[in-house]
Amino acid sequence: MNPPLRLLVAFDALIQQPPEVLLTVDSRDVWLAGVWNYAERWQVCLPDLEAQVIFSAASLRKRQNAAGRLLPPWTRPLRAAWMALEEVHHLPAEGARFVIVADEPLGPRYEFSAALAFAAACYERVSRVPPTSTLIQQIERQLRLIDR
């Protein structure tokens, strides 16, 4: 794997330590670099969108970030990925700090690709990563539930 330089530069600027996780998702031009932490907080940064969110499991269930504010719209697929992981008991016990970049058009496809990378990293931490098509199905199912 040859991650884009902008991923490594953004990761170094935001996290300031070497990545423990470096992955890409099959069939998508998306890359993730991250570190696991032992707090129950999660930080997801999307430098291409100039966006980031910090959340806990409890805040995400309430559709809020860690500060108690409503989650921004771009986090909808990320929340669906979290719910899918929670449903199949594949959430790591600890939190993480992730930086995600993609060569996708900005918008829904980009946001969905970022959620795929998030899910793949979590699966990789606790077990084997399923095929991308399975991840897509799990996230799409949760998106339908969110929209109800």
pLDDT of amino acid 138: 92
- What domains are there in the chain, each with its CATH number? 5-146 (3.30.230.10)
More reliable by pLDDT, 126 or 90: 126
Q: Is the pLDDT of residue 148 over 80?
A: no
Query: What is the band of 86 on the pLDDT scale with cuts at 50, 70, 90?
Result: confident
SS3 per residue for 7-44: HHHHHHHHCCCCCCEEEECCCCCEEEEEEEECCCEEEE
Is the per-residue pLDDT at 117 higher than 80? yes
Chain segment 119-144, per-residue pLDDT in tens: 999 988 887 788 889 999 999 999 99
Whether the predicted pLDDT of 89 surpasses 80: no
**Per-residue confidence (pLDDT) for residue 100, from 0 to 100:** 97
> What pLDDT sits at residue 2?
83
Coil, strand, or helix at residue 90?
A: coil
Over the stretch 23-78, which tens digit does the pLDDT of each residue have? 999 888 999 999 998 788 999 999 999 999 999 988 988 999 999 999 999 999 99
Are 29 and 104 in contact by the 8 Å Cβ rule? The answer is yes
The model's pTM is: 0.93
| 63 vs 50: CA distance, rounded Å | 20
Determine the Cα angle at 7 with ends 50 and 1, to 5°.
150
* Distance of alpha carbon 74 from alpha carbon 32, whole angstroms: 17
Mean per-residue pLDDT for 85-105? 86
